[in-house]
Structure 1
């Protein structure tokens, strides 16, 4: 996402004296006229008398007469609505409606407060649950949770559909409207209901909001001196962080690299280009940006530091935008193998324009193409080597407020059986029946994790089962192991 901030300052007289009398405009009419003036493309000069002196005043003609209807509607409501209208609220509504009419989930109008929150997310930290979301077909869909955030720790996954926030439905709301409800001060709680996969069941979850980590790059050394570097977003300091992690890994004898952008929702386009330049030969294409006229600009790899050890890049369904730019560039211009699952599929570029009152327009200005000219929008990037997570990694969330006990029969019981089975506990036949074998398995789990041995699965027991399963998923990680093995083989 190309983040660009610019400030446009317009000064307009609110009184003009044509001939011998003043014409006064209502505040809202003035605001709407400013909108018309900004978007007009031609102007004429008229002579007016102001305060007894001759002055030249530039007035632009309205080349968009359809805006007259907007003014007419406001005037009608201002005169005849049964109570006084809130001018500022109606202006905000008009702006939101205009952006909504684009039918583009990546284009939005943000009032000043929301704009400040957006800038926090790009450049520093913010407080909330830490999940990148977007509106899709009237639903609020998780693109990916942020690493080490409350959302990730609670088990929120890409493509989860959030239905309610604190009991209020968010179906039909924009992503920004949903964010208003989800975000809040550190330490406060928020209750959400969400749907996962094809299941129509709603899962309830209470999350404690926290400060979302600023750090965006994490590194560790794997077997065979293969460095595993995970990039969680493309923010202001990501490139600098990556260079520091590379220095650290090289000092430890790095002989190969797995670059991991799984569940990375994207961020700044320029940062993605800088990072790609570490792996792509100077002068080779990184990304093509095409405007609506079809004109293309190609960003080529820059000169400077280069990573020369064998490399693979890991992706999944939560890899979007700048993550896909990086994966496409490394694959097509540096012959780096892409490992994992099909990416999200966001092939557009956004610009951010700051308005004079501190509000912000974020809107799509172009589409981006891979070095070979492929537009991956709504299609994603297919990995060279497809590796799925094990089936237990995609099990639904279990509501910790539910009580499961011997004799119960349900789909939730079956999910619990599958979780315990994946963790190595003998539950007998996996059939959705909480039988004696399931009871013993739960009791054994409770004993081994210092929990009250009741044989009943709820609360702390359910939470601990899901925590242990997440640890197993992270430990087993067949995608990372495959990417590492490829690097080791190439290094020989």
Structure 2
């Protein structure tokens, strides 16, 4: 009986749902009771709490807690129990849109970590980066929460604000990031023709229509004279596996292995390319630490089965398979059921995929977010001041020493920046000045995309 896999882009993590043939996974309540001695402690605890706890406790509270405890005991960030509300968020995440900040998260070491912000989302615009740790949401600590539980606090209606306390890197001070939630559309393919016939196509996730979007984009690029393609999978946290395998099949020769799935017994299921030969142009693929799960499947497939060069930074490293099961009451749980391997049998879990050509973005691309609500002025000394000085320097303004101290030279640089951008000249960094400074830096990062430049350079040598 064949295995059919779906990698869901969830609000918490990129997961894989697993079914066998056409059979649906259904919840089965085994007849345990007194027939199973190992459950005696569980039932004894339940009975004691129901009869002797100092106040009434709902049956559902105790049962949900018991299930949640079993799943948490696995110490696996990809296995999780979801209440009805959390399960609703899980299913909504694979729809055409949702309302929130637009970031992929996962639980790691009892902390909530950003896998990647979604392109064009409020979180990306606010400067959220892969590997950022969300310490709290609106003052509520996320320590020890599952990713799906954290999502219920992070998500909210369009137009509402949410305050995140973010930790970035060891030794850095936590920073407060205020984000206005918005509708997050699942538009996944962005195409652009660069000079010399080089097409740049970014795939931000693998949703229901990604393959169709990509085919449309490639046809458009072909009509515009495409000679080579840069497939950009940076910041892509994953999505539906059927989309990933179809996309990998566009570039991997027919019959070649795209990936393997291995269960607990060592039995492997192999997925092969169904390529019909539609894509012939030279190709390179960009990856980074935000490339995870399904995007790693595509990257590994084209690298090992089609000799396509990977450029950028080592990928995230998620190589496990999850199955999701719904209960009749609307709750849900998912657990790791298998692991996936690359065409050559490599397991990239917690290792990531190392690019053939390693290229980092400029140092200023990793500068921390500065809250527009915080005022930086003469005599201020903080990590935010140092970040602002680095931003000014990157934008072409001389703040003097980037030493975390806001002196007169820093003030002069800020005044010049404000004059050039038609802002109120105050010499302090706050509000519109902060927003404009971070926006200017973002534009510079896009213009000086060292990874993309290297990819174009490699392609130009191939298309001559």
TM range (shorter): over 0.9
The question of 1:98 aligning with 2:70 is answered: yes
C-alpha separation in 2, matches of 1:9 and 1:425: 62
SS across alignment from 1:122: coil
The equivalent position to 1:332 in structure 2, one of 289, 304, 308, is: 304
C-alpha separation in 2, matches of 1:66 and 1:250: 64
C-alpha separation in 2, matches of 1:240 and 1:363: 30
Q: For residue 103 of structure 2, what is the aligned residue in structure 1? A: 131
Q: For residue 412 of structure 1, what is the aligned residue in structure 2? A: 384
Q: For residue 30 of structure 1, what is the aligned residue in structure 2? A: none
C-alpha separation in 2, matches of 1:322 and 1:7: 23
Q: For residue 36 of structure 1, what is the aligned residue in structure 2? A: 30
The equivalent position to 2:249 in structure 1, one of 264, 268, 277, is: 277
Q: For residue 426 of structure 1, what is the aligned residue in structure 2? A: 398
Q: How does 1:43-442 map to 2 (within 5 A)?
A: 62=35, 64-442=36-414
The question of 1:471 aligning with 2:443 is answered: yes
Cα shift readout 1:366-393 (whole Å, capped 9, x = no counterpart): 1111111111110100000000010111
Q: For residue 18 of structure 1, what is the aligned residue in structure 2? A: none
Cα shift readout 1:15-70 (whole Å, capped 9, x = no counterpart): xxxxxxxxxxxxxxxxxxx6333xx8xxxxxxxxxxxxxxxxxxx994x4322321
The question of 1:445 aligning with 2:459 is answered: no
SS across alignment from 1:105: coil
C-alpha separation in 2, matches of 1:257 and 1:303: 17
C-alpha separation in 2, matches of 1:409 and 1:214: 41
Q: Give the Å deviation of 1:475.
A: 1.2
Is the alpha carbon distance of 1:184 and 1:482 closer, same or farther for their aligned partners in structure 2, counting shifts above 3 Å? same
Contact 2:86 2:149 in 1 (8 A): no
SS across alignment from 2:393: helix
C-alpha separation in 2, matches of 1:110 and 1:410: 40
C-alpha separation in 2, matches of 1:192 and 1:432: 23
C-alpha separation in 2, matches of 1:82 and 1:469: 58
Q: Give the Å deviation of 1:348.
A: 0.6
SS across alignment from 1:199: coil
Contact 2:252 2:275 in 1 (8 A): no
Cα shift readout 1:116-155 (whole Å, capped 9, x = no counterpart): 2212212321111011111111111100001111101101
Cα shift readout 1:287-343 (whole Å, capped 9, x = no counterpart): 011111011111110143531100010000000001111110000000000000010
SS across alignment from 1:375: coil
Contact 1:7 1:355 in 2 (8 A): no
Contact 1:339 1:387 in 2 (8 A): yes
C-alpha separation in 2, matches of 1:169 and 1:208: 19
Cα shift readout 1:59-117 (whole Å, capped 9, x = no counterpart): x994x432232122111111111221111122222221121111111111222322222
C-alpha separation in 1, matches of 2:197 and 2:34: 68
**Structure 1 unaligned runs (5+)?**
11-33, 41-59
C-alpha separation in 2, matches of 1:431 and 1:85: 56
Is the alpha carbon distance of 1:279 and 1:195 closer, same or farther for their aligned partners in structure 2, counting shifts above 3 Å? same
Q: Give the Å deviation of 1:361.
A: 2.1
C-alpha separation in 1, matches of 2:159 and 2:61: 31
Contact 1:265 1:320 in 2 (8 A): yes
SS across alignment from 2:196: coil
C-alpha separation in 2, matches of 1:163 and 1:305: 48
Q: Give the Å deviation of 1:198.
A: 1.8
Query: TM (normalized to structure 1)?
Result: 0.88
Cα shift readout 1:178-199 (whole Å, capped 9, x = no counterpart): 1110011111111110011123
C-alpha separation in 1, matches of 2:422 and 2:18: 53
SS across alignment from 1:135: strand
